[in-house]
Chain A
Amino acid sequence: DTGVSQDPRHKITKRGQNVTFRCDPISEHNRLYWYRQTLGQGPEFLTYFQNEAQLEKSRLLSDRFSAERPKGSFSTLEIQRTEQGDSAMYLCASSLGQGQGSGNTIYFGEGSWLTVV
């Protein structure tokens, strides 16, 4: 059983450039989540997918951010025109989904560190 995998693990980019992160969830998981974590803080929810449908987006997800999960398997998170404030770790996670408020465990990947210089 492979866990959630993320690529790249580290990315340094210049301000104004676009970056894209990829996430491969645990294979049987139908829900996929993106979180952002800055130093000294807990992860903050960005968005989640149920299969290929993006069902919720946090207000933290500005117009420069877009996430896709085209075939209900892997997902990408793209940040356009990066800003220094985007520097953070972007965490992908997955779970089984059985309706709202499920007690199913969410499993996290190792994260993708973004540094905008």
Chain B
Amino acid sequence: AQSVAQPEDQVNVAEGNPLTVKCTYSVSGNPYLFWYVQYPNRGLQFLLKYITGDNLVKGSYGFEAEFNKSQTSFHLKKPSALVSDSALYFCAVRDINDMRFGAGTRLTVKP
């Protein structure tokens, strides 16, 4: 079965600094990879996805992610973090009929 792993429970970064939230995947066949963000007591909001094509995917709110096949990674990045980016981030992989999520990484951006 397809799966993703998020090795960091928590990421702290200062406002204005670049941020990276890590994700690695394990799939058979071509991976369909996604990033979602969740604010407190809210549902998940779609940020971006990789299906095929360019390894660098651009998404909402200035986020981007880099697909790396050799390292089986799909890390989420942003050049300059905002305090409002503080939230829970989930990496996910499309399985046959549903989406499989990582455990989540809590991003805290400090002023």
Partner of B104, one of A33, A41, A105: A41
Interface residues of B in 1-44 (CB under 8 A from A): 29, 32, 34, 36, 41-44
Contact of B96 among A33, A101, A109, A113 (CB under 8 A): A101
Q: How many A-B residue pairs have CB under 8 A?
A: 65
Give the distance in Å from the alpha carbon of A6 to the alpha carbon of B97 in the complex. 22
**Residues of chain B within 8 A of A113, CB atoms compared:** 41
Q: Is A79 an interface residue (CB 8 A)?
A: no
Docked-complex contact A43 and B97, CB < 8 angstroms: no
Given the known interface contacts A42-B104, A110-B43, A111-B42, the answer about A103 and B96 at a Cβ–Cβ threshold of 8 Å is: no
Interface residue range, chain A: 20 to 34
Q: A61 contacts the other chain (Cβ, under 8 Å)?
A: no
A108-B44 in contact (CB<8A): yes
| A98-114 to B contact mask, C-beta < 8 Å, 1/0 | 00111101111111010
**Chain B interface (Cβ within 8 Å of chain A)?**
29, 32, 34, 36, 41-46, 49, 51-52, 90, 92, 94-104
